[in-house]
Amino acid sequence: MADGVGSPSLHPLTAIALLVLPGFAGAHTVSDTASGSDNAWVAMLLAASALLYAAGVATLWRRAGVGRGIGRAHVLRFTSGWLLLAVALLSPLDVIAARSFAAHMVQHELLMVAAAPLLVLSRPLEAFAWALPRGVMRALRGCARASPLRRTWRAFTSPSGAWFVHAIALWGWHVPALFVAALASAPLHALQHACFLASALAFWWATLGAGSRAAGIAAVACLFTTMLHTSLLGALITFAPAVLYMHATEAAPFAMTPLEDQQLGGLVMWVPGALPFLLAGLGIVAAWLADSRTHREGARLR
């Protein structure tokens, strides 16, 4: 519902799928970096998501008034998240990441802790729903009503479920054998990107969308413990005595040894990668305090 304006209903899983598609298409390998056709697919999917969001916002604003339902701040968040996806998947960073673990970690952090929360906070569900034709919306609603899909969605987007799925994706893909295998296979690497981005979108959807105080407490707990276990993984990589993730036979960029490159990548995950979880948790607590203060002031006025 958009500020009193009837809004079409789109299952959140559909919105996440639309946002994940560019990540699934964009993957490089050590021996064969992303080709021009791969980049073209990523660019087309990113362009399609942007056009779909813009069309939905334009339709909503035309019917309800500019800034209603989806505000300018939401559009700014989508634009920022979209640009971060483009930087991660289409910029020279993607090429450098094929032979640098540190650059690879920057790329993954951009997907999981920068682009994903911004996209979740941009209200893509409503924008995509307003953009899709009615026939497509009816078909999607029919699929979304299927009991197995509803049960699966609820399981994976509860705070605890999203926490578990995101943790499994993060730790699983950083098992050295699986990580190196993804580097050698473009389809497997595309699956890695998709798992990271999809699990991050579900995680931020569950934690940032907490409505009640009880759900908010669970969200803060999930954010705090995710910060701890991602920091632990980053620390383990940073202090590993040997190279775990060999990206290429050639030396890492910036005159670093492979071990130094790996240590820098661990630090990227450990320190800046943990900050968004801390900031989000503090933001939820600050919102509670502001809400409590408003209620107290209202009670005094009465």
Closest Cα to residue 243, out of 268, 263, 267?
263
Q: Which two tokens stand for residue 121?
A: 């906070």
Q: How far apart are CA 302 and CA 297, in angstroms?
A: 9
Q: How far apart are CA 28 and CA 64, in angstroms?
A: 43
Q: What is the DSSP letter of 114?
A: I
Question: What predicted TM-score, i.e. pTM, was given to this entire model?
Answer: 0.85
The mean of the pLDDT values for the chain is 82
The answer, yes or no, to whether residue 5 has pLDDT greater than 50, is yes
Closest Cα to residue 42, out of 102, 137, 140, 111?
111
| HSE of 300, CA atoms in CB hemisphere, 13 A | 5
pLDDT tens-digit series, residues 76-111 = 999 999 999 999 998 899 888 888 999 999 999 999
The average pLDDT across 187-203 equals: 91
pLDDT at 32: 45
2 vs 65, higher pLDDT: 65
pLDDT at 2: 41
If DSSP codes are grouped into helix, strand and coil, which group holds residue 250?
A: coil
pLDDT at 16: 62
The answer to whether 127 and 56 are in contact (CB under 8 A) is yes
pLDDT at 221: 93
The answer to whether 216 and 284 are in contact (CB under 8 A) is yes
Give, for 16, the enclosing helix (H) or strand (E). Answer: helix 12-25
Q: How far apart are CA 202 and CA 195, in angstroms?
A: 10
Q: How far apart are CA 140 and CA 276, in angstroms?
A: 33
296 vs 66, higher pLDDT: 66
The answer, yes or no, to whether residue 268 has pLDDT greater than 90, is yes
**Low-confidence winner among 39-43, 138-142, 261-265 (lowest mean pLDDT):** 138-142
pLDDT at 1: 39
The average pLDDT across 21-29 equals: 58
The average pLDDT across 250-272 equals: 86
Neighbours of 33 (CB within 10 A): 17
pLDDT tens-digit series, residues 213-253 = 667 788 899 999 999 999 999 999 999 999 998 765 456 67
Percent of the chain with pLDDT over 90: 44
pLDDT at 280: 93
The answer, yes or no, to whether residue 136 has pLDDT greater than 80, is no
Q: How far apart are CA 106 and CA 63, in angstroms?
A: 41
The answer, yes or no, to whether residue 176 has pLDDT greater than 90, is yes
- Grade residue 169 by pLDDT with cuts at 50, 70 and 90: very high
pLDDT tens-digit series, residues 33-82 = 444 556 788 888 889 899 989 999 999 999 888 888 899 999 999 999 99
Neighbours of 211 (CB within 10 A): 8
Q: How far apart are CA 94 and CA 284, in angstroms?
A: 33
Closest Cα to residue 81, out of 36, 41, 127?
127
Percent of the chain with pLDDT over 70: 77
pLDDT tens-digit series, residues 104-128 = 999 999 999 999 999 999 998 888 8
Q: What type of residue is 41?
A: W
Q: 2: which strand partners? A: 5
